[in-house]
Structure formats: structure tokens, C-alpha cells
Amino acid sequence: MVTPEAAVLHVDMDAFYAAVSLVDRPELHGRPVIIGGGGRAVVLSATYEARALGVRSAMPMARARRLCPQAVVVHPDHDRYAAVSGAVMEVFRQVTPLVQPTSVDEAFLDLTGTARRWGTPWEVAEWLRGTVAAEQQITCSVGIAPNPFVAKVASGQAKPDGIRQVRPEEVVGFLHPLPVGVLWGVGERTQEQLARFGLTTVGQVAHTPRSTLQRIVGEATGAALAERAWGRDRQRVRPRVRERTIGNGQTFRQDVDSPEVVLRRLLLLSERVAARARAAGEMGRTVQLTVRFADFTTLSRSRTMARPSDVSREIFAAARQAFESLGLQRARVRMVRVTLSGLTPAGDTPVQGLLDEPEVGWREADRAVDRASARFGAGVIRPASLLPAAQEVAPA
């Protein structure tokens, strides 16, 4: 358990994918907007106006359109999201090196030892929100608490575009009136199990004997709930939890039997994976290709590169080799995915140019594209082979 004087921030971007997508489309602010593709795609994100009508992330697009037929549908821009996420995380690291990203749009910050330079946790939260808004034109909500769990709950209560601070002496009073679903480890099934015993609030769980909770939901989960219901959390903020893999996949609107179309998709996916790797400061050595066919049969092939890479061209070359090794001619393909693994920090990986590579090579070119994407949006610079196929797929 963290010490009472410790201060942990949980910073969560508000409707991140939707907010970033609307930066260049201010006329859509205040309207229901869904970020996603068509056909068999799912909702990636939605504005709060669409959420109020029942639209949720991971919902099939067909259902989202039925719930909110007046919504404007905007296709995702994954390269832009990765670039903005990387820039936001760098803002966090200006305050403290103890930053733990948990996804592209949220992170924990441990403010221990920062008061002399940055002021109170509330002042830090205000500075972060103002800086992110000024630099990226998006908003974020911040929870401040003695430990990560309570800070995460607090940021949820602050949404959208707010701050909620919970001091050590306020933790129990803050948590106990809330629904049991705010507790980590309580999903739909666990909620149903607890509700059968009349346990619907955190306070009710807190005042239930540990042994009873363990009989209801199992030994490990019951013990964890008994601790969290009182605001206890033994976790620490661990800087820069590294991803084990970085991947991106797409489902075709209609099953595809053209190898040329599949290869164009692999080029696009390789670009996205490489951009995410660069944003995360990672390089990978193994590229895995996953292909799902019309009958839902799924095959995977991998290729290991001679050196770790975050270069789009090199990742695509490996993905292409993997695809060609399948020997497909007219097979009907439903989905493809490119995954980079064997990750190492880019700063720890010496980069040795190829003999025929110019002094300013593909890595520098990719980074120039990253800078342009962060400023003007992804797609401003793109291989010509991708242009005719922009409408072939929906996000997986």
C-alpha cells in the first residue's frame, strides 16, 4: 500500500479517438459522431453525444447505426492516434519520470518528490490538462488519489474534462456509495454473482466478510475485492510498461481473392505497426502475419528480420515474405493482421545502415512522415499503391 502522503494521478483522454478525429473537423463538435468503418467493423470510439444514445466501443457498427442513425461516421486514423498519444506521453514525462501508460489514451503518474518544482497535485493536473489542450486540441480528465486504483476511479468520476481529487481521509467516503462495478476485477459476471447476494455498492462489499466474498466469487477475487472496497492498493506506478507485441489488423468489407489487394493492405498495416512502434520507442525483430479466410479458418506465418526494426519498408518486406510463403492464389480472405514482436527499446538497439542505403535512409523518412502526421493528420504522405484502395476495408 502506498504511503498516505503519496499522490498518484490517473490521466484519461476524453473520448480520445473521437476527439483526435474531430480536431480537423470542428463543424462536428456537439454532434453524435461514431469512429469506425462499415460492413462488419465495430465501433472504435464515439463522442459523448452518441454515447448518450447507447453507442459503445466494440459495438458492431450495424447496431450503432440503428441506435443512432443521425450520427456522422468517421473512419479511424490510426497513424494520427499513435502520433498524438506519443506527444501526450512526453508531456507527462516532463512532470515525472514515473509514468505508466496503460493504453494509448491513459496513464498513471507518480508525483512523489515533484511538489517543490511543480506545486500541488491539483496544480500539476491543471498544467497537464492545459498543456494537452493547447498542444493537441483535446481534453483529458484527471483523478488524484493516494494510490492507482482510487485515482483511476476518481478520473472516471471527473469525466469529461475535469479533475477529481480524493485525499487519504476521503477514500472510504468516496468509494462506498459507488456501484460495485467500479472495483477492479468486477466484470458483468462478477456483478451478477454479487447482486444475487444483494451486494450492489462498494460499501456493501466492504462490510461483507472476506470469507463470504470468497465463497461467492472465488478465493483470489474475493480477497482482492475485500482490499479494494476499502481503497487499499498495493500496486506502484511502474514506468513505461513495455508492450510485448504491437499489431494492427483489418477485416475486408467483402471477402477478397486478389493477392494484389491483400498486399496493399499489408503495406498499410505495416506502416501503422511501424508508426506505433516508433511512438512507443520500440523496435522488433519478428513479424507475424495472420490471415483469416471466408470460412474463418486462420493461418499464421512469421519471419525474423536480421536486425530489430521500426521501419515500415522492412516490416512490410517481412510480412510480404510470410504471405507469399502461404502460396495462395484465389483463396477468399476475410481478415489480415501484422504483428511485430521480439521488442527492445529503440535507444538500446544500435542501428546499422545497409550497404546500399543512403546516408539519410528509410528510418529518417519514416520519422519525417511521423512529424507530418502529428501536425496535419495521417495520409498526407502515403505510398501511391495505397491510394486506389482506400475504401476496401473496415477496421477489425
Q: Are residues 191 and 319 in the same domain?
A: no
Q: Are residues 86 and 216 in the same domain?
A: no
Q: Are residues 89 and 43 in the same domain?
A: yes
Q: Are residues 95 and 125 in the same domain?
A: yes
Any residues with CB less than 8 A from the CB of 82 and at least 6 apart, and which? 104, 272, 275, 276, 279
DSSP state of 380: S
- Report the pLDDT value the prediction gives residue 389, as an integer from 0 to 100: 46
- Gap between the Cα atoms of 370 and 279, Å rounded: 9
> What DSSP string runs through 185-249?
T--HHHHHHHHTTT--BHHHHHTS-HHHHHHHH-HHHHHHHHHHTTT-------S-PPPS-EEEE
Question: Is residue 170 in a domain?
Answer: no
Question: Is residue 234 in a domain?
Answer: no
Q: Are residues 186 and 285 in the same domain?
A: no
Q: What is the CATH number of the domain that holds 206?
A: 1.10.150.20
Q: Are residues 89 and 204 in the same domain?
A: no
Question: Is residue 201 in a domain?
Answer: yes
Asked if residue 77 belongs to a known ligand binding site, the reply is no
Active site residues: 106
For the beta carbon of residue 263, count every other beta carbon within 10 angstroms.
17
* Strands laid side by side in the 72-74 sheet: 43-46, 33-36, 72-74
- Amino acid at residue number 292: R
Q: What is the CATH number of the domain that holds 68?
A: 3.30.70.270
Q: How many structural domains is the chain composed of? A: 3
Question: Is residue 274 in a domain?
Answer: yes
- Gap between the Cα atoms of 275 and 343, Å rounded: 14
- Gap between the Cα atoms of 225 and 206, Å rounded: 8
Q: What is the CATH number of the domain that holds 260?
A: 3.30.1490.100
Q: Are residues 288 and 187 in the same domain?
A: no
Asked if residue 24 belongs to a known ligand binding site, the reply is no
Domain containing residue 194: 177-228
Question: Is residue 149 in a domain?
Answer: yes
Q: Are residues 151 and 182 in the same domain?
A: no
Question: Is residue 171 in a domain?
Answer: no
Question: Is residue 1 in a domain?
Answer: no
Q: Are residues 80 and 193 in the same domain?
A: no
- Amino acid at residue number 168: P
Q: Are residues 210 and 277 in the same domain?
A: no
Q: Are residues 150 and 294 in the same domain?
A: no
Q: Are residues 222 and 279 in the same domain?
A: no
From first to last of its 396 residues, what are the pLDDT tens digits of the chain? 443 356 999 999 999 999 999 998 999 999 999 998 766 688 999 999 999 999 998 899 999 999 999 999 998 887 788 888 888 988 998 899 899 998 889 999 999 877 677 889 999 999 999 999 998 999 999 999 999 999 999 999 999 999 999 999 999 999 999 999 999 889 889 999 999 999 999 999 999 999 999 999 999 999 999 999 999 998 889 886 556 789 888 888 889 999 999 999 999 999 999 988 888 888 999 999 999 898 888 888 989 898 899 999 999 999 999 999 888 877 899 999 999 988 888 765 544 444 444 444 555 556 555 555 554 454 544 554 544 444 444 444
Question: Is residue 142 in a domain?
Answer: yes
Peptide bond into 160 cis (omega under 30): yes
> What DSSP string runs through 95-146?
H-S-EEEEETTEEEEE-TT-HHHH-SHHHHHHHHHHHHHHHHS--EEEEEES
Q: Under DSSP, is residue 297 helix (H, G, I), strand (E, B) or coil?
A: coil
CA distances from 145 to 120, 221, 312 (A): 12, 23, 41
- Gap between the Cα atoms of 243 and 361, Å rounded: 26
